[in-house]
Each structure stands twice: as structure tokens, then as C-alpha cells.
Amino acid sequence: MTERLTGKTALVTGGGNGVGKAVALALAAQGARVVVNDLGTSEQAEGVSRGAADITVEEIHAAGGEAVASYDSVATAEGVQNAVAIAESAFGPVDIVVACAGAIFPGDLSATDETWHRFIDLFLSQKFFLARATVPGMAERGWGRFITVTSEGARGTLGNPIFAAAMGGVISLTKAIANDYRAHGVTANSFNPAAATRLYHATIADWKVKHDAGEITDEMWAAIEAGPGPASYVAPMVTWLTTDAAAKTTGQVFTIGGGSVTRWSSFEQVRSIYKGDHRSTPEWSLDELDQTVPTGLFEN
């Protein structure tokens, strides 16, 4: 099989475990030179360790690929800058970014200011810092792939308002990058990984509590309990998005896992109500909206 990414430099955050590791291995198998970034924390973002990143690098080397490790926190601008500098020093400018790093934080409305900022920095600011450090250079060279992890939580269906805000922000950020750079050979896409990673297993008990409390549906709990496929099933589609074959695929969101790939709908206006010409017609009254909103905007 042809190595589609020979000569490309890829930076994968969260590359020491789960989906990030699977993607790093898959990119390397296609000839990319990979910077494996992982701070080496626990699922709850506690502690640090070089072991996770090092193991992935060793596996890539054992398979005949090229890789180096980065142990930086990509929740900070400085950490991202250092990870990018490692890539540039080892292999050259970054052509591909896959932002997978994440952890588990409490995200309900009782969260502290500190938790809010830690959550947003890791899940959303990370992607901005990475884009700022790499995408303009990709555009100058006329080729680049910027891929971000989001979640079903972006739709608000999993509760956890901070997580929802961060994941929704990731989608909007990625779509805007896609629009700004589509004429410069750079694509930007997001994916929701459906995989039985360590983070997935660490959250099962919490989802059961939510189900028992009626906060998530029986259908959703059944899907969670049944479990998705392994992380390796996510990697092929993510890798495909980094290839020349995906040059026209940008600004999209996918759910990937268990042998299936699903494309999300785009944000769009669904239905409208009108009251004549806004230049001459009086504004809506509340009584009029009482009648018109339910029938005009929501009923089929």
C-alpha cells in the first residue's frame, strides 16, 4: 500500500492513549513523521508522566516509523509553542494537527471558576493555540490539515454545561478556520470519537447515575452501556481526512467509531415567520407572537 503521508509532519495531542495513540500510529503507518504529545496525566488530569508518550513513540519506531515525544501541556499557549518547536526542530514545519488531548472534569453549574478555566483551556483553548501556531504556516505553504476532537456533548444531550460549551466552541472554531483557509489548501474538520477508551470507562458510573436520575434517556444509556468499538476503528477515517483525497472535505463534523462514520448536519436556519416589510410594518406584539411562534416556527 502506498504511504500517503510520506514527507508530512504531524502533531498529535493526547497521543499517548486511546484515540490519540491510535491516530498517531495510523499516521506514522502512512509515512508521516509524528510528534506524540501527551502530558501523561490520569483520566482526571492528575499527575504527569512521560511514559504514555514514550510508549507510543517506541511502537512507531518498532514499526519502522519516525516519531518524537512532547510532554508539554497543550492547555497553555507556551506548551503548544514548545510542542510545535519540537516538531519543527525534529522534522520541519507542521503539516497536520490532530488535537485529541482531554481529561475528565466536573462540569455542572456548581463548578468553580478554576474548574471552568481548566476545562475551557484544555478542551477549547488548546485548539485555538494549536491553530494559531500552525495554520497560518500551512496556508503559506499551500497545504495543511487541522483536525479537532469534539463530542456528542456539543449538542447538550449529555448535560455538563461546561463540557457542552467547550465542545460546541470547538465545532464553531473549526468551521471558522475551514472558511477562512479553504482557498489556501488547508482543511479543518472535527470528529466525535465513539471508542472504548480509558476516559469512556472512567465515566460509565457517572452516566448510570444520570440515567437513574432521569437525566439521560433509556436509549442513550443502552448505547453507552453496550459500548462503542475500540479506538483503532476511529483512526482510519481521521487518517483519511489528512490525505490529499480529502482536499475538498472541510468544515465538517463526523462521529466515527465501531465501523461506522456519520456526518453531522450543518448549523442552518430551519423555519421563519414574517410580519410584512420591516421598514414599514409595526414590530411584533407579544399577543401576535403567542399565536405565531408555536404554529409558524415549530408545528409541521
Tell me: pLDDT of 8 over 90.
yes
pLDDT value, residue 18: 92
For residue 182, the model assigns a pLDDT of 97
Please say if the pLDDT value at position 7 is more than 60. yes
**Whole-angstrom Cα distance, residue 38 to residue 42?**
11
9 pLDDT above the threshold of 90: yes
pLDDT number for residue 44: 52
Q: What is the DSSP string of 123-183?
A: IIIHHHHHHHHHHHHHHHHT-EEEEEE--GGGGTTT--HHHHHHHHHHHHHHHHHHHHHGG
| Predicted pLDDT of residue 202 | 58
User: Does the pLDDT of residue 5 top 70, yes or no?
Assistant: yes
Q: What is the pLDDT of residue 235?
A: 96
With cell 506514522, the residue in question is 28
Element (H, E) at 271: none
Q: How far is CA 78 from the centre of its chain?
A: 20
pLDDT of 150-193, one tens digit each? 998 899 887 789 999 999 999 999 999 999 999 999 999 999 99
**Lowest mean pLDDT across 63-72, 178-187, 211-220, 270-279:** 211-220
Q: Tell me the per-residue pLDDT of 35-88, one tens digit each, with 9 for 90 and over.
A: 999 997 655 556 567 889 999 999 999 999 999 999 999 999 999 999 999 999
Q: Is a pLDDT exceeding 80 seen at residue 29?
A: yes
pLDDT in the model for residue 46:
62
At residue 200, does pLDDT exceed 90?
no
Q: Say yes or no to pLDDT of 90 above 70.
A: yes
Lowest mean pLDDT among 159-163, 173-177, 263-267, 279-283: 279-283
Query: What's residue 157's pLDDT?
Result: 82
pLDDT of 211 reads: 73
Q: For residue 14, with 0-12 CB atoms within 10 Å meaning exposed, 13-18 middle and 19 or more buried, which class applies?
A: buried
CA atoms within 13 A on the CB side of 283: 1
Query: Does 139 score more than 90 pLDDT?
Result: yes
Average pLDDT score, the chain: 90
Is residue 101 over pLDDT 80?
A: yes
Taken in order of first residue, the domains within the chain and their CATH numbers are 9-263 (3.40.50.720), 271-300 (no CATH)
User: For the packed helices 161-181 and 126-141, what is the interaxial angle rounded to 10 degrees?
Assistant: 10
CB-based contacts of 205, cutoff 8 Å, min separation 6: none
The Cα–Cα gap between 23 and 36 comes to 10
The pLDDT, as a whole number, for residue 214 is 83
pLDDT at residue 87, as a whole number: 98
Return d(Cα 15, Cα 50) in angstroms, integer: 12
Buried b (16+ CB within 10 A) or exposed e, 264-288: beeeeeeeeeeeeeeeeeeeeeeee
SS3 at position 188: strand
Percent of all residues in the chain with a pLDDT value above 90, rounded to a whole number: 70
